[in-house]
Chains A and B, each alone.
Chain A
């Protein structure tokens, strides 16, 4: 099952939320594939349905209709198998404040049932890669926003996952930390990791993604490499592409 070249397959996925007044179509009949080793972006303004799509794929919420698979494992029937293959970096800084950075990383390593020596080795390796060794000894209570984002990212890959879901990974980072994180994410490609990231930053999608799905109001509007999309919509950047498709800027949706 895992030899499949398709890492993520999404078919006619729908998620509708009922409110007192209406039915909100958060994700409306979207289909796409993410190839193994690809960095794939979901680009759209806030509220477009990006996080809902990720939440369905990682088994946090059930879809209203449609299906999705992670390396062939149906996320509704085999979510436990799928969970062993994925790492998730959520938008919020979900770390335990009373634990140090290292203790947080090790806790999550244990939750993935990794052998003790492997947890230590992997923790050292990741801390080193992100230049995090000094901060890692202290409780995360005193961390800056940028440090928390980095720790958030490290925790999501402690289990050496095949697929990494990154939900707005650089929100709130200063330009330097953002560049460093892009470099870190870019390196996943050399490790043949598959990445599905959501972003509303045009530059982020252009810098990192092999392919981008443009999403708005729960609908998938177009899909392709940044270069192909720019060519198709005769634009210099993805902002122009989004503008040509929807008639408004990405930031207007925020």
Chain B
């Protein structure tokens, strides 16, 4: 991996997110608005479910939309011949994929901060210290790998950016409803245990409830998210490299 190329590509990726209004909305405004709406709604005791119980799911929820951004952006750049142009230069696939992973990790960490700060305005008082918050940020950065991987898989099987947007919901919806802010029942758990977002939400709930950061539950969740996310991103890179960039 060449650091000059990696940082030039990383800079380009971050500019893409900041300069495209649709991406700014999906990555930053959407989780912010959602946190505020959920904050207002669930602060009402009438609902019988405190906002603090569902806040951890909102962190994971925001990160899931990276799937759509990655799928759209890769499909779009493939259509425009940009990926082919990049591959004609001495750039290595590792420089390019490295920049994708880093930029999305940075976005995931920013999302955590946005949701975390806004959630403070409502009934969200995490029973943890700075180390717990740091661990939550690291967990989300690792989880973003799975979103990059699923985005690449979506781009590989999509013929256009439009198709990629639609297909990305195949991966977004199950994680949205079975692993984030909607309470898991014994029925839905059967499926949810196969989704990394389930373990992210579970770990975040434990961290914010003040469990020991070295508790078995947090360590197992952390391990599952790390292993699954790394496997998914490797599969995504391999598939896209072999079939996606044509």
B182 contacts chain A at the CB level, 8 A cutoff: no
CB distance from B103 to the nearest CB of A (A): 13
Partner of B85, one of A59, A94, A103, A139: A94
The answer to whether A112 touches B81 (Cβ under 8 A) is: no
The answer to whether A98 touches B15 (Cβ under 8 A) is: yes
Task: Kindly identify, within residues 65 to 94 of chain A, every residue whose CB is under 8 Å from any CB belonging to chain B.
Answer: 80, 83-84, 86, 88, 90, 92-94
Chain B residues within 8 Å of A112, by CB: 89-90
Cα of A139 to Cα of B12 in the assembled complex, Å: 13
Partner of A98, one of B4, B5, B16, B89: B16
For the side of the interface on B, what is the size category?
20 to 34
Partner of A92, one of B5, B7, B80: B80
Q: Which A residue sits closest to B20, measured CB to CB?
A: A98
Q: Which B residue sits closest to A83, measured CB to CB?
A: B90
Task: Kindly identify, within residues 74 to 100 of chain B, every residue whose CB is under 8 Å from any CB belonging to chain A.
Answer: 80-82, 84-91
Cα of A93 to Cα of B81 in the assembled complex, Å: 8
Chain B residues within 8 Å of A107, by CB: 8-9, 12
Cα of A29 to Cα of B85 in the assembled complex, Å: 26
CB distance from B137 to the nearest CB of A (A): 27
Most chain B CB atoms below 10 A, which of A84, A88, A113: A113
Q: Please, what's the 1-or-0 string for A93-123, where 1 marks a CB less than 8 Å from any CB in chain B?
A: 1111011000100111011110000000000
Q: Given the interface contacts A98-B19, A110-B8, does A92 sit within 8 Å of B88 by beta carbon?
A: no
Partner of A94, one of B20, B81, B90: B81
Cα of A84 to Cα of B88 in the assembled complex, Å: 10
The answer to whether A110 touches B5 (Cβ under 8 A) is: yes
Q: Which A residue sits closest to B19, measured CB to CB?
A: A98
Cα of A80 to Cα of B88 in the assembled complex, Å: 9
B2 contacts chain A at the CB level, 8 A cutoff: yes
Chain A residues within 8 Å of B19, by CB: 98, 139
The answer to whether A84 touches B90 (Cβ under 8 A) is: yes
Chain A residues within 8 Å of B82, by CB: 94-96
Q: Given the interface contacts A90-B81, A98-B15, does A111 sit within 8 Å of B20 by beta carbon?
A: no
Task: Kindly identify, within residues 29 to 80 of chain B, every residue whose CB is under 8 Å from any CB belonging to chain A.
Answer: 80
Q: Given the interface contacts A98-B16, A99-B15, does A111 sit within 8 Å of B81 by beta carbon?
A: no
Chain B residues within 8 Å of A83, by CB: 88-90
A254 contacts chain B at the CB level, 8 A cutoff: no
Chain B residues within 8 Å of A88, by CB: 85, 88
Cα of A58 to Cα of B88 in the assembled complex, Å: 7
Chain B residues within 8 Å of A60, by CB: 84, 87-88
Cα of A212 to Cα of B93 in the assembled complex, Å: 35
The answer to whether B81 touches A92 (Cβ under 8 A) is: yes
Cα of A99 to Cα of B2 in the assembled complex, Å: 22
CB distance from B81 to the nearest CB of A (A): 4
The answer to whether B90 touches A111 (Cβ under 8 A) is: yes
Cα of A113 to Cα of B90 in the assembled complex, Å: 9
Q: Which A residue sits closest to B77, measured CB to CB?
A: A96
Partner of A59, one of B2, B8, B16, B88: B88
Q: Given the interface contacts A111-B5, A113-B4, does A96 sit within 8 Å of B88 by beta carbon?
A: no
CB distance from A154 to the nearest CB of B (A): 13
Chain B residues within 8 Å of A95, by CB: 82
Q: Which A residue sits closest to B3, measured CB to CB?
A: A113
Q: Please, what's the 1-or-0 string for B16-32, where 1 marks a CB less than 8 Å from any CB in chain A?
A: 10011000000000000
Cα of A103 to Cα of B18 in the assembled complex, Å: 15
Chain B residues within 8 Å of A58, by CB: 88
Chain A residues within 8 Å of B84, by CB: 60, 90, 94
CB distance from B54 to the nearest CB of A (A): 35
Q: Which 10 pairs across A and B sit closest by C-beta, in order of nearness?
A: A110-B8, A94-B85, A94-B81, A92-B81, A111-B89, A98-B19, A111-B91, A88-B88, A83-B90, A94-B82
B-binding residues in A (CB < 8 A)? 58-60, 80, 83-84, 86, 88, 90, 92-96, 98-99, 103, 106-108, 110-113, 139, 155
* 16 other A-B residue contacts (CB within 8 Å) besides A88-B85, A111-B86, A155-B85: A59-B88, A60-B84, A60-B88, A84-B90, A90-B81, A90-B88, A94-B81, A94-B82, A98-B16, A107-B9, A110-B8, A111-B9, A111-B89, A111-B90, A113-B2, A113-B5
A-binding residues in B (CB < 8 A)? 2, 4-5, 7-9, 12, 15-16, 19-20, 80-82, 84-91
20 contacts between A and B (CB under 8 A): A80-B90, A83-B88, A83-B90, A86-B88, A88-B85, A90-B81, A92-B80, A94-B81, A94-B82, A94-B84, A94-B85, A96-B12, A98-B20, A107-B9, A110-B8, A111-B5, A111-B86, A111-B91, A112-B89, A155-B85
